[in-house]
Structure 1
Amino acid sequence: MTEGRSLAQKLDHLLTVVHPADRGPYSYEEVAQAIKAKDGPTISAAYIWQLRKGLRDNPTKHHLEALADFFGVPVAYFFDDAQAKLIDDEIEILQAMRDAEVRDVALRTMKLSPEARRSVVNIISELGRYEDRSTGPRRRRRGSSAAAEADEA
């Protein structure tokens, strides 16, 4: 859900999800230093934190351009909810592709016929539904009182 998100929410999303596969999110200091290293505007780690927390909400155009450049998104990401939605969808796909097993399945699937690809999509959908059911709340089976007593024991 990206519609109507604030600048803080969009920046939080980028900080949370855009990072190398082999590590967690960038620190505020890493972002500030990377912007400085690219001859970007002066921006402090504290200021990035304030933007993320919504304590500051009116950054300069140069700060937004530098943040967008750091995260590899167009500056429109911060202004246009439709653009942000498209970019978030692309980021989600890229995150999935970072996983070697997912990438391998995707590459192998691309070699299949359109009918076979649809079958793979259906199988994955069914597996997702199965996992959703298996992780949901456990329901008690109706049956004999002996079965109910065994469940309670």
Structure 2
Amino acid sequence: MTDSENRPTNNLSSKLNHLFASMTPAGRGSYSVEEVAREITASGVPISGSYIWLLRKGQRDNPTLRHLEGLARFFGVPPTYFFDDEVTQAVNSELALLRALRDTHVQKIALRTVGLSERSLHSIGEVIERVRELEGIDQDPAGPPAPL
């Protein structure tokens, strides 16, 4: 599983880095490894920022189940995110949708569609797909277009 849109491959470091890149606090950049370590430790699972850094760099790749559960809980994903590629793919699709919904331009467009008829929504969906084709964007980042 790879793609050019910053989605992880099958290894732990890529998946963890993807979570750091995707799950950012509102109004600022990514969490630091020290912030994540403090929160996980405060939840009862001792872990250091340097250990998380080693995991992110791929220099450690066999963390304990407790550490993976702590990381998963912090980022709000199921622990199977790190083991099951189907779960990883499903979660990454949800993360892509959340990233898109954070975009104020996307929010404005979505809000402007409230109250439109089913037929109008379908037409807007078709226009968006055509513009994506013209710009060379193959597919909606959240998956194939659903019928509106």
Give the alignment's TM-score, normalised by structure 1. Answer: 0.78
- 2:105 alignment partner, one of 89, 101, 109: 101
Give the corresponding residue for 1:53.
Answer: 57
Give the corresponding residue for 2:67.
Answer: 63
Aligned residues: 132
Structure having the larger proportion of residues in helix: 1
The 2-side partners of 1:22 and 1:30 are apart by 16
Alpha-carbon deviation of 1:17?
1.2
* Corresponding position: 1:84 with 2:88: yes
The answer as to whether partners of 1:50 and 1:56 remain within 8 angstroms in 2 is yes
Alpha-carbon deviation of 1:127?
2.1
Alpha-carbon deviation of 1:3?
8.2
The 1-side partners of 2:128 and 2:106 are apart by 12
> Once the two structures are aligned, what percentage of the paired residues are identical?
47
Residues 104, 70 of structure 1: CA spacing in aligned structure 2 closer, same or farther, 3 A cutoff? same
Alpha-carbon deviation of 1:8?
1.0
* Corresponding position: 1:26 with 2:48: no
- 1:121 alignment partner, one of 111, 121, 125: 125
The answer as to whether partners of 2:20 and 2:31 remain within 8 angstroms in 1 is yes
Q: Which has the higher contact order (CA 8 A, sep 6+)?
A: 1
The 2-side partners of 1:78 and 1:94 are apart by 20
Unaligned runs of 5+ in 2: 138-148
Give the alignment's TM-score, normalised by structure 2. Answer: 0.80
The amino acid of 1:31's aligned partner reads V
**1:83-115 CA deviation, whole Å, 9 max, x = no partner?**
110100001101111122212322333532222
Unaligned runs of 5+ in 1: 134-153
CA RMSD, 1 decimal = 1.9
* Corresponding position: 1:13 with 2:24: no
The 2-side partners of 1:26 and 1:3 are apart by 18
The answer as to whether partners of 2:8 and 2:15 remain within 8 angstroms in 1 is no
SS in 2 for 1:88: helix
The 1-side partners of 2:132 and 2:36 are apart by 36
The answer as to whether partners of 1:3 and 1:82 remain within 8 angstroms in 2 is no
Structure showing greater Rg: 1
The 1-side partners of 2:11 and 2:116 are apart by 42
